[in-house]
């Protein structure tokens, strides 16, 4: 598997996908002429540029060879993303106190080094600090406790 | 004497008691996050940005600027004591600074770093004051044609001076420009790439993207690899340097300041390049280069001065031309716009209090750093003892709160989640996200000026070459791009940016 330069290949494919999405999504916008550009001018020019870069990377990755990509570990990714999702779902309804606590605990799960008891204590403190700092002092418009 | 009038106006603004307070708050926060590895000034500025909306714009800016140069300053503390750079800009300080600490001269290294930074900050403040007016006057003659060329130059230069592969960085700029398209087109009213989501009508907010890419993406990548940490437990003593040591360090400070001031003005010069250049120069000039890497005092003084000077002069393109020279300055532009101030050459005449207040506050802030930081060193050391396993959940939480706060919108939090995943992908494929951010911020301006220039010239592309200023700017772009094709220069660049 060392024949292929994986970082370049993946990045190139990513660029091609983005370019394709943009081209499809803006296909109905008028291109116009250089003197009187339509809203579709820039998206098309740029996505063709992105696709060009993408192809170069894909071809180059097959030619220069020799670099693997570290296999992503699921735990950090899922932990951090879940923590953000929990915040987005909870903050407006359950209030910042509960949302902040849950976010910190869930984020803690992302690391193998986390000690649960320590993190829970830390999360209580952090949640209190966040409520005082952001809601009471800086007037962030979220409730502190659940609204019924 | 315009210069003195301006500086005086700046000082009266900066010395108002509430501005002094915001400045102090900014540099303290900045130093704290600078000391902590793993959290940089970009997420911090983004986090505090929403809470500056209630403030006077000059107070808000004084604080945000303080975070930036405070962070440069704090980064070197960690570099010296732990041999881990608190910020990318303090990588070089590790080399000799940490060696000095090992020899029991941690106090001296910290003091020299502080004094060099203060010296550089003072000079850089004057440089900004001197350069700002002529540059702004020049910029007032700019039409859409010159603006377009200048924006292109800014983007290309930022790419070339950044880390990593130039081709990838250029591709990242294109991606950023594409993201900049999202929203309702100003000239035609057509919605572009909004996929029917009403929240996207106003375009993508800058902050969730920055937080996702820089804050969360980095955390996920950091958790992949275990980070070793060794702490210097020796107490820090002997803070005051002796006269002979100061004399030895002074020439390096002067040279570092000159290099930093120059490189900071260049687009993309920002914070990473000046210290490397200064270190290389000190090593070359030294009578006995073998001392470097073993605790040479010049190896701390030069890069630290360059670092701080560069951090400050990188405000020049922002304040005079409205063009950010690095990702953090791009965030500052976003901040200006959120305060209802259109960045650009007119900002000097329309908001003199803001511009000169910020410039003067930099000097005031540097003085504060010099005075307060050394006594507070014990606090910074104890902060370094917070383990990463506790720090990163806190960063995740603050990113969530900050992103929500920017527009009180949960949609932005979901957007950040998406970009966190993209940011992780970028780390894995070794693509530096900073150019994307510049593209995103400059994209709308680039398109608007291009359209206007084309409209004025009736679709004639040669207009960019027949306007003299624009032709010069584009010639520089061409030279920069061609230079990248010359293998010898590419190798030099890799050497300079290595480590």
* A53, A22: one domain: yes
For residue B169, count CB atoms less than 10 angstroms from its CB and return exposed for 0-12, middle for 13-18, buried for 19 or more: buried
* A86, A51: one domain: no
Query: With an 8 Å Cβ cutoff, are A105 and B175 in contact?
Result: no
Q: Which residues of A touch B223 (CB under 8 A)?
A: 73, 75-76, 79-80, 110-111
Q: Write down which residue in A64, A85, A114 finishes a domain.
A: A64
Query: With an 8 Å Cβ cutoff, are B190 and A39 in contact?
Result: yes
pLDDT: which is higher, A2 or B330: B330
Closest CA to B310 of B162, B100, B89: B89
Structural domain contains residue A1: no
CB B494 within 8 A of CB B486: no
CB atoms under 10 Å from CB of B309, counted, come to 33
* A83, A50: one domain: no
Closest Cβ–Cβ partner in B387, B420, B454 for A84: B420
CB A79 within 8 A of CB A18: no
| H-helix or E-strand spanning residue B464 | helix B463-466
Render pLDDT for B168-217 as a digit per residue (tens, 0 to 9). Answer: 888 988 999 998 888 877 777 778 877 877 777 777 888 888 888 877 88
Give the max Cα distance, chain B: 70
Q: How many domains does chain A have?
A: 2
Instruction: Label residues B62-89 b or e (16+ Cβ within 10 Å = b).
Output: bbbbbbbbbbbbbbbbbbbbbbbbbbeb
How far the first Cα of chain B sits from its last, in Å, is 46
CB A3 within 8 A of CB A52: no
Structural domain contains residue A40: yes
Predicted confidence at residue B292, as pLDDT, reads: 80
| H-helix or E-strand spanning residue A29 | none
Q: Which residues of A touch B170 (CB under 8 A)?
A: 53
Pairing of strands B191-192, A32-33: unpaired
Structural domain contains residue A147: no
Query: With an 8 Å Cβ cutoff, are B389 and A138 in contact?
Result: no
* A53, A85: one domain: no
* Residue with tokens 């398209």, as numbered in its chain: B181
In this complex, is the C-beta atom of B489 within 8 Å of any C-beta atom belonging to chain A? no
Domain that holds residue A115: 74-137
The reported pTM is 0.80
Render pLDDT for B15-35 as a digit per residue (tens, 0 to 9). Answer: 888 889 999 988 988 888 888
> How far is B348 from chain A, CA to nearest CA, in Å?
30
ipTM score of complex: 0.90
Structural domain contains residue A143: no
pLDDT: which is higher, B399 or B338: B399
Alpha-carbon gap, residue B335 to B357, rounded angstroms: 16
Render pLDDT for B376-397 as a digit per residue (tens, 0 to 9). Answer: 877 887 877 777 788 888 888 8
Question: Cβ contacts of residue A7 below 8 Å, gap of 6+?
Answer: A61, A67, A69, B428, B429, B430, B431
Structural domain contains residue A80: yes
Alpha-carbon gap, residue B26 to B45, rounded angstroms: 10
> How far is B143 from chain A, CA to nearest CA, in Å?
17
In the 8-state DSSP scheme, what is residue A67? B
Alpha-carbon gap, residue B102 to B80, rounded angstroms: 9
Q: Which residues of A touch B50 (CB under 8 A)?
A: 140
CB atoms under 10 Å from CB of A145, counted, come to 11
* A37, A10: one domain: yes
Structural domain contains residue A142: no
Closest Cβ–Cβ partner in B167, B397, B459 for A34: B459
> How far is A98 from chain B, CA to nearest CA, in Å?
12
Q: Which residues of A touch B38 (CB under 8 A)?
A: none
* A59, A88: one domain: no
């Amino acid at each position: 598997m060392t024949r292929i330069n994986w970082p370049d290949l993946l990045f190139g494919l990513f660029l091609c996908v983005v370019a394709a999405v943009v081209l499809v999504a803006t296909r109905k916008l008028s291109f116009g002429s250089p003197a009187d550009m339509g809203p579709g001018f820039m998206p098309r020019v740029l996505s063709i540029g992105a696709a060009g870069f993408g192809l170069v990377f894909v071809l180059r990755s097959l030619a220069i060879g020799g670099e693997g990509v570290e296999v992503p570990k699921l735990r950090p990714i899922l932990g951090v993303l879940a923590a953000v999702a929990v915040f987005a779902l909870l903050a407006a309804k359950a209030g910042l106190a509960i949302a902040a606590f849950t976010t910190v605990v869930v984020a803690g799960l992302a690391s193998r080094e986390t000690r649960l008891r320590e993190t829970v204590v830390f999360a209580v403190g952090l949640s209190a600090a966040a409520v005082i700092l952001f809601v009471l002092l800086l007037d962030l418009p979220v409730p502190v406790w659940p609204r019924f | 004497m315009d210069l003195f009038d301006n500086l005086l106006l700046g000082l009266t603004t900066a010395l108002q008691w509430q501005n002094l307070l915001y400045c102090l708050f900014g540099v303290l926060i900045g130093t704290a996050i600078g000391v902590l590895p793993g959290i940089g000034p970009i997420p911090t500025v983004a986090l505090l940005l929403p809470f500056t909306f209630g403030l006077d714009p000059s107070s808000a800016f004084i604080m945000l600027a303080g975070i930036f140069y405070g962070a440069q300053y704090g980064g070197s503390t960690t570099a010296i004591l732990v041999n881990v750079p608190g910020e990318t800009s303090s990588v070089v300080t590790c080399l000799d600074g940490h060696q000095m600490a090992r020899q029991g001269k941690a106090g001296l290294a910290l003091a020299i770093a502080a004094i060099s930074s203060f010296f550089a900050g003072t000079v850089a403040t004057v440089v900004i004051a001197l350069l700002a007016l002529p540059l702004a006057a020049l910029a007032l003659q700019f039409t859409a044609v010159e603006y377009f060329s200048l924006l292109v130059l800014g983007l290309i230069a930022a790419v070339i001076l950044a880390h990593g592969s130039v081709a990838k960085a250029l591709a990242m700029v294109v991606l950023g420009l594409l993201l900049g398209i999202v929203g309702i087109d100003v000239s035609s009213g057509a919605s572009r790439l909004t996929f029917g989501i009403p929240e996207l009508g106003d375009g993508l907010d800058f902050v969730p993207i920055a937080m996702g890419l820089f804050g969360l993406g980095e955390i996920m990548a950091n958790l992949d690899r275990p980070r070793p940490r060794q702490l210097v437990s020796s107490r820090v003593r002997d803070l005051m340097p002796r006269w002979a040591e100061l004399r030895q360090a002074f020439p390096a400070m002067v040279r570092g300041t000159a290099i930093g001031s120059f490189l900071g003005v260049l687009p993309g010069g920002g914070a990473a390049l000046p210290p490397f250049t200064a270190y290389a120069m000190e090593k070359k000039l030294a009578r006995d280069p073998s001392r470097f890497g073993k605790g040479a005092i010049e190896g701390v003084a030069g890069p630290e001065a360059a670092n701080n000077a560069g951090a400050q002069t990188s405000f020049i393109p922002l304040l005079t031309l409205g063009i950010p020279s690095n990702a953090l300055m791009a965030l500052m532009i976003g901040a200006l716009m959120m305060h209802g101030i259109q960045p650009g050459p007119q900002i000097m005449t329309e908001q003199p209090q803001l511009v000169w207040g910020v410039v003067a506050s930099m000097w005031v802030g540097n003085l504060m750093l010099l005075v307060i930081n050394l006594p507070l060193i014990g606090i910074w050391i104890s902060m370094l003892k917070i383990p990463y396993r506790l720090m990163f959940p806190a960063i995740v939480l603050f990113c969530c709160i900050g992103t929500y706060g920017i527009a009180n919108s949960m949609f932005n939090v979901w957007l950040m989640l998406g970009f966190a995943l993209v940011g992780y992908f970028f780390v894995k494929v070794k693509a530096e996200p900073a150019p994307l951010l510049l593209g995103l911020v400059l994209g709308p301006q680039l398109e608007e000026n291009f359209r206007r220039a084309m409209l004025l010239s009736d679709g004639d592309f040669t207009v960019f070459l027949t306007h003299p200023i624009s032709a010069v700017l584009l010639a520089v772009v061409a030279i920069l791009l061609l230079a990248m094709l010359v293998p010898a220069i590419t190798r030099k660049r890799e050497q300079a940016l290595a480590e």
